[in-house]
């Protein structure tokens, strides 16, 4: 890891203002050395990145955007390879692997105060501009441009900006706000061209250039291919080589999501890199396997025709990826890869006792569920579990303070005693798991309740199989579960990290009630309430997120399910700083609410069914070229306080749910 050396912040690299940016050239015409704006041996200037971001932001085509990032990386690889890792972090708006829980923790207020100091723009003016532009980066850029400079600023280096961000994130305790601000001011004072815009967007963690890990890693892989010495020899099968290496790098990241390990390994191995080069490592969470939504047992049977499969209870708790490291410590990670060990000291004890000496290292997939031991070990809802104290990075909850008890239901194992088990079929993984852990301890450590349907049963007697599945689903619902998971027992069906796989299907209770699944949506707009709701906001305009375009796309208006006190709370929450006067460019909808809300919170919404809509633009282009998907009769269920806005339901999720509904209802797309 790079040192946080403040000297790296500034350098005297001469970079011509308004220099032509060559990264938009086709890769075969781009010369990584000649077209760069600095020379070998120097630290790469941040402007190299900012200029590329400026072009990528304007570019709607994914292939072209990837090729610009690829060219940007090629110059780094050729001239200053030590800048490649910081550049990947800056492109993906991260400063460390997710599991290190290293956050910038900079609020808009700190950025606004820094802007005031660096550019002399009054806070009230910044707020006014923000309300009209909806993007702090654009505001900062405007403030910077209108400021007359006495002397040309000293150039920022790419690694210097990255090091400064890490340094900012480490500030804690008294006086930390002031120290953070002064580090930001120092960076701001050195910004040239569009650097200010992207620096501020990075600070508020909203880069908005559409460069996700899925774009940035293939771009880097392609840069490695184009820069590799025997490039001429590759020309014939260049396309194949580009595709292979891009896929390998993405695959490797799913298994080992640490850029600190992945990027140096890719740079060292070059075109020889493969996902097998890296092995999973206890302590680094892998991206969890996900399930496809179905609308009931008949659809499952259709999808798993002539195949053996297994049904498991779908517990209503929190996903936990449990790691035992070689040093004997046990660590827990959430579905998003954040470390949550400090929240679950009791889980750590349960696991340590259950595995005995047999498991030296392992990675398990499990659901942690709240349980009422005084009441026959009844399972409790996810809400009960989330009411449990949070703990933090450095403070573990004391065992005697725990009010909500838990039971862990383990359903998979991906790694054990140094061996990667991802490619083994589920039957073998389960056997491995049970051999390692042995007996259950009811109410503390259990395996997910399961029911297997062998291939013969599924083929010969559909009716009987359906009846068995429905009765298993009933049992699951009566045991306070959300529904059932149905998993393929095919010999080819391994554990596929990060994928919504056909090998895992889910059937949820909500299906019986209407929608296959509830939606996690973000309020992006609101109207002034009438009648009883005068003085509050109602309805709210709700949106899903499209990570490819980084847009929030509207799904529906919601006006039922809220309590009066919630209306008051939300009015106070949004009033002031969280209302935009103009529609931000990254909101996609034909609705025109009275006000646009800043994307801050995630709400669980349940509705009746999906329809194609000319007004709402969720999943536009995925189901219909110019229409989106909307949900009918939506109602508010609860606030999801542990989700960030970008972690709400995606456009692809909504398209999937729509398709799973149309399979049953034959919806006419032409209307």
Single out the segment in contact with ligand ATP by CB under 6 A; choices: 70-78, 226-234, 310-318, 461-469.
Answer: 310-318
- Residue closer to ligand ATP by CB (options 66, 650) is 650
Catalytic one of 292, 314, 487, 508: 314
Spell 164-175 as b/e; 16+ CB within 10 A means b.
bbbbbbebeeee
Report how far residue 628's alpha carbon sits from residue 549's, in angstroms, rounded to the nearest whole number: 15
Pattern 264-293, binding to ligand ATP, x per CB under 6 A? --------------------------xx--
Single out the segment in contact with ligand ATP by CB under 6 A; choices: 166-174, 311-319, 521-529, 628-636.
Answer: 311-319
| Closest distance of CB 623 from ligand ATP, Å | 19
**Per CB under 6 A, does 314 bind ligand ATP?**
yes
**Per CB under 6 A, does 362 bind ligand ATP?**
no
Q: Pick the binder of ligand ATP from 188, 252, 380, 485 (CB under 6 A).
A: 485
**Per CB under 6 A, does 311 bind ligand ATP?**
no
- Residue closer to ligand ATP by CB (options 448, 654) is 448
**Per CB under 6 A, does 315 bind ligand ATP?**
yes
Give catalytic status of residue 302 as yes or no: no
DSSP category for residue 589: B
| Closest distance of CB 406 from ligand ATP, Å | 14
- Residue closer to ligand ATP by CB (options 126, 366) is 366
Query: Tokens representing 162?
Result: 């990255």
- Residue closer to ligand ATP by CB (options 115, 481) is 481
Beta bridge partners of 488: 309
Single out the segment in contact with ligand ATP by CB under 6 A; choices: 14-22, 276-284, 313-321, 400-408.
Answer: 313-321
Question: Which of helix, strand or coil describes residue 174?
Answer: coil
- Residue closer to ligand ATP by CB (options 245, 602) is 602
| Closest distance of CB 279 from ligand ATP, Å | 24
| Closest distance of CB 412 from ligand ATP, Å | 7
| Closest distance of CB 407 from ligand ATP, Å | 12
Single out the segment in contact with ligand ATP by CB under 6 A; choices: 27-35, 314-322, 538-546, 563-571.
Answer: 314-322
Contacts of 118 (CB under 8 A, 6+ apart): 184, 185, 188, 189
Q: Pick the binder of ligand ATP from 57, 116, 367, 656 (CB under 6 A).
A: 367
Task: Say if CB 590 and CB 619 are below 8 A apart.
Answer: no
| Closest distance of CB 295 from ligand ATP, Å | 14
- Residue closer to ligand ATP by CB (options 167, 508) is 508
332-361 positions binding ligand ATP, by CB under 6 A: 335
| Closest distance of CB 430 from ligand ATP, Å | 11
Question: Which residue, 210, 260, 325, is CA-closest to 97?
Answer: 260
Task: Write the DSSP assignment of 63-101 as a string of letters.
Answer: HHHHHHHHHHHHHHHHH-GGGHHHHHHHHTT-SS-GGGT
**Per CB under 6 A, does 445 bind ligand ATP?**
no
**Per CB under 6 A, does 448 bind ligand ATP?**
yes
C-beta contacts of 347-355 below 8 A and 24+ residues apart? 347/320, 347/322, 347/406, 347/408, 349/399, 350/408, 350/441, 350/444, 350/445, 351/322, 351/324, 351/408, 351/445, 353/441, 353/445, 354/437, 354/438, 354/441, 354/444, 354/445, 355/324, 355/436, 355/437
- Residue closer to ligand ATP by CB (options 74, 506) is 506
**Per CB under 6 A, does 211 bind ligand ATP?**
no
Determine whether 386 is exposed, middle or buried from the number of CB atoms within 10 Å of its CB (0-12, 13-18, 19+): middle
Q: Pick the binder of ligand ATP from 127, 319, 427, 434 (CB under 6 A).
A: 319
Spell 41-62 as b/e; 16+ CB within 10 A means b.
ebbbbbbbbbbbbbbbbebeee
Pattern 389-428, binding to ligand ATP, x per CB under 6 A? ----------------------x-----------------
| Closest distance of CB 312 from ligand ATP, Å | 4
CA atoms within 13 A on the CB side of 109: 5
Contacts of 455 (CB under 8 A, 6+ apart): 306, 307, 308
| Closest distance of CB 360 from ligand ATP, Å | 25
**Per CB under 6 A, does 506 bind ligand ATP?**
yes
- Residue closer to ligand ATP by CB (options 199, 379) is 379
Contacts of 241 (CB under 8 A, 6+ apart): 225, 234, 271
Question: Which of helix, strand or coil describes residue 508?
Answer: strand
Question: Which residue, 397, 380, 279, 270, is CA-closest to 340?
Answer: 397
CA separation, residue 140 to residues 151, 162, 459, 477, 585 (Å): 19, 19, 64, 52, 17
Beta bridge partners of 405: 371
Can you give the binding site for ligand ATP, defined by CB under 6 A? 290-291, 312-315, 319, 335, 367, 411, 448, 485, 506
Q: Which of the residues are catalytic? A: 314
């Amino acid at each position: 890891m790079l040192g946080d050396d403040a000297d790296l912040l500034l350098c005297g690299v001469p970079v011509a203002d308004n220099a032509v940016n060559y990264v938009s050239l086709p890769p075969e015409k781009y010369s990584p050395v000649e077209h760069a704006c600095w020379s070998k041996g120097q630290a790469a200037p941040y402007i190299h990145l900012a200029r590329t971001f400026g072009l990528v932001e304007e570019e709607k085509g994914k292939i072209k955007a990837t090729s610009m990032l690829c060219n940007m990386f090629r110059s780094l690889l050729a001239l200053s390879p030590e800048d490649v890792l910081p550049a990947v972090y800056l492109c993906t708006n991260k400063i460390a692997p997710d599991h290190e829980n290293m956050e910038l923790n900079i609020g808009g207020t700190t950025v606004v105060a820094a802007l005031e100091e660096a550019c002399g723009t009054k806070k009230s003016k910044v707020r006014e501009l923000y309300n009209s532009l909806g993007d702090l980066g654009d505001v900062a850029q405007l403030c910077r441009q209108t400021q007359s400079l006495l002397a040309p600023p000293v150039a920022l280096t790419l690694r210097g900006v990255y090091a400064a961000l890490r340094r900012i994130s480490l500030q804690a305790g008294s006086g930390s706000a002031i120290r953070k601000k002064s580090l930001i001011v120092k960076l701001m004072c050195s910004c040239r061209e569009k650097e200010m815009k992207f620096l501020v967007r990075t600070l508020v963690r909203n880069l908005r250039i559409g460069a996700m890990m899925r774009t940035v890693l293939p771009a880097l892989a392609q840069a490695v291919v184009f820069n590799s010495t025997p490039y001429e020899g590759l020309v014939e099968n260049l396309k194949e080589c580009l595709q292979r290496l891009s896929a390998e790098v993405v695959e490797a990241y799913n298994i080992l999501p640490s850029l600190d390990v992945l990027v140096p390994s890719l740079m060292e191995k070059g075109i020889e890199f493969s996902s097998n080069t890296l092995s999973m490592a206890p302590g680094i969470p892998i991206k969890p396997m996900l399930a496809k939504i179905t609308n009931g047992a008949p659809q499952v049977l259709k999808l798993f025709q002539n195949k053996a499969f297994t049904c498991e209870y779908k517990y209503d708790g929190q996903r936990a990826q449990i790691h035992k490291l070689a040093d004997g410590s046990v660590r827990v990670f959430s579905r998003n890869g954040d470390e949550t060990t400090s929240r679950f000291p009791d889980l750590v004890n349960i696991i340590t006792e259950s595995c005995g000496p047999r498991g030296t290292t392992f990675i398990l997939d499990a659901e942690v569920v709240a349980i009422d031991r005084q009441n026959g070990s009844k399972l409790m809802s996810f809400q009960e579990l989330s009411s449990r104290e949070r703990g933090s990075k450095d403070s573990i909850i004391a065992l005697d303070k725990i009010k909500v008890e838990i039971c862990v239901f383990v359903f998979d194992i991906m790694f054990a005693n140094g061996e990667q088990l991802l490619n083994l079929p589920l039957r073998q993984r389960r056997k491995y798991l049970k051999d390692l852990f042995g007996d259950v301890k009811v109410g503390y450590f259990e395996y997910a309740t399961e029911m297997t349907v062998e291939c013969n049963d599924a083929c010969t007697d559909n009716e009987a199989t359906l009846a068995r599945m429905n009765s298993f689903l009933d049992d699951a619902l009566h045991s306070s579960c959300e529904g059932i998971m149905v998993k393929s027992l095919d010999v080819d069906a391994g554990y596929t990290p990060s994928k919504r796989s056909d090998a895992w299907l889910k059937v949820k209770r909500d299906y019986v009630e209407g929608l296959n699944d509830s939606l996690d949506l973000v309020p992006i707009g609101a109207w002034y309430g009438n009648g009883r709701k005068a003085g509050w906001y109602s309805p709210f305009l709700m949106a899903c997120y499209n990570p490819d375009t980084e847009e929030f796309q509207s799904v529906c208006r919601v006006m039922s399910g809220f309590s009066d006190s919630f209306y008051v709370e939300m009015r106070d929450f949004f009033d002031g700083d969280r209302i935009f006067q103009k529609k931000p460019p990254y909101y996609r909808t034909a609705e025109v609410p009275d006000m646009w809300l800043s994307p801050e919170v995630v709400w669980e919404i349940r509705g009746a069914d999906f329809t194609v809509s000319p007004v709402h633009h969720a999943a536009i282009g995925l189901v219909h070229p110019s229409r989106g998907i909307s949900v009918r009769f939506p109602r508010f269920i609860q606030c999801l306080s542990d989700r960030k806005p970008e972690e709400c339901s995606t456009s692809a999720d909504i398209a999937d749910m729509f398709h799973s509904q149309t399979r049953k209802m034959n919806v006419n797309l032409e209307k």
